[in-house]
Structure 1
Amino acid sequence: MEETANAQPAPPPAPGAEQYPALDFADSVIALPGGRLLDLLGTPRSAGRWLAERGLAPADAGLHEVCAARMRALRQQVRALLASRIDRTPAPREALAAVNEALTRVPTAAPLHWDEVRGLHRAAPHPTDQIVDHALGALAADTADLLTGPDAARLTACGSPPCNRYLLRAGRRHWCSTRCGDRARAARAYARRIEARAD
């Protein structure tokens, strides 16, 4: 079940998300207890709000579903790259291609077009597409910086199921939030009680 950002407040950013917007981007879909998902990019409105809150788009950008869908698609590929880094497995080719496309998609000039009515002409992409292209390019660049920089070794997944968020580990902490840490500790205490009863 997918929920919008209005259905439930999002947890605080995971450690490292303020430093790396790509980490915050990857964590914009949150697995909740009971098999529910909180998708901060689930609608064009919530995706636009997410970009605006991070200074990646104006508040009145007016995103459409195609823009939100492009954001969710890139997020999936960024998550795949983070997971492969954590698992020390080869980076998925599709994920690399998606991030590289976002890195190179931002035009520096209006492209040249041809049609039978106007002939050769230059036309800039739609303004909303330009906003999304620039935002996704910035997030892709930040993903590359995170995965190739000194903090890559600190990248980890939250250790409290069912949470699916990523964070930068600080010391022994393996949880994205106090809530997840409390849930993990409670699960361990419960497991110890069950084990003690079995003895």
Structure 2
Amino acid sequence: MERWLALELASTIRHDGDGGVADDLATVDGVSRWLDDQQGLLPAPFRTVDLTADEDLRLALTELRRAVRALFARAVSPAPPSPADAGRLMPAGQALAHLNAVAAREPVRPQLDWPQEGEPAARLLTEPGDPRTALTAALARAAIDFLGGPRREQLRACTAPRCVRYFVKSHGRQEWCKASCGNRARAARHYKRHHAAD
């Protein structure tokens, strides 16, 4: 299954398995675990940097996530947003401004590499600076790339009971983010049908 860094950030708000909502970024330790889990998705410089999470980074990531989830809600509209934060979404204009401001905190310049015997490849060069600023800027750019790209059209909020995730629809009939959500939705429909007559 393909993964996107912006979707992984948004998915740090998730169903906890007991009918509630869990926040993977609620603690500094949670941020550290999440960053470790994202090593394969993070831009190359962050795969080798030993980035120690702290409260400032945690707050920056949770505010960026809040903006990303608000823009995801806008992207899935007119369908309903994730129920986890539907009642307290950051206004879309504020979310957009925040996302762009965070992305701009680190100067980048595009560079084209084209070896004599190979294919051209574009990459972004950044000026070395504070790794926490660079990380949040990279995450914001990942969200901009996702929301500005073709995958935005397949973005959905999972409609399974108690699920709060967004997902990218990979085939025409997909309604849920994962099989267990589909099972939960079918069980809920079955229960409702059989207990409606009571």
Q: Any gaps of 5 or more consecutive residues in structure 2?
A: 80-90, 109-126
**TM (normalized to structure 2)?**
0.72
CA drift of 1:37 comes to 2.3
The code of the aligned residue for 2:72 comes to: L
Task: State the percentage of identical aligned residues.
Answer: 34
Aligned match of 2:52: 62
Aligned match of 1:150: 150
Alignment of 1:14-53 (within 5 A): 16=2, 18=3, 20-32=4-16, 35-53=19-37
Alignment of 1:1-199 (within 5 A): 16=2, 18=3, 20-32=4-16, 35-55=19-39, 56=42, 57=46, 60-88=50-78, 92-107=92-107, 130-170=130-170, 171-195=172-196, 197-198=197-198
User: d(CA) in 2 for partners of 1:142 and 1:96?
Assistant: 14
Alpha-carbon RMSD: 2.4
Larger radius of gyration between Structure 1 and Structure 2: 1
**Do the aligned partners of residues 153 and 107 (structure 1) sit closer, same or farther apart at CA in structure 2, a change above 3 Å counting?**
closer
Q: Deviations along 1:32-81, whole A, 9 cap, x unmatched?
A: 36552221111112212212321244574221111101101110110000
Q: Any gaps of 5 or more consecutive residues in structure 1?
A: 1-14, 109-123
User: d(CA) in 2 for partners of 1:69 and 1:194?
Assistant: 45
**Do the aligned partners of residues 149 and 88 (structure 1) sit closer, same or farther apart at CA in structure 2, a change above 3 Å counting?**
farther
**TM (normalized to structure 1)?**
0.72
Q: Tell me the number of residue pairs that the alignment of Structure 1 and Structure 2 aligns.
A: 162
User: d(CA) in 1 for partners of 2:13 and 2:183?
Assistant: 21
Aligned match of 1:114: none
CA drift of 1:31 comes to 3.1
User: d(CA) in 2 for partners of 1:49 and 1:33?
Assistant: 19
Q: Is the 8 A contact 1:48 1:62 kept in 2?
A: yes
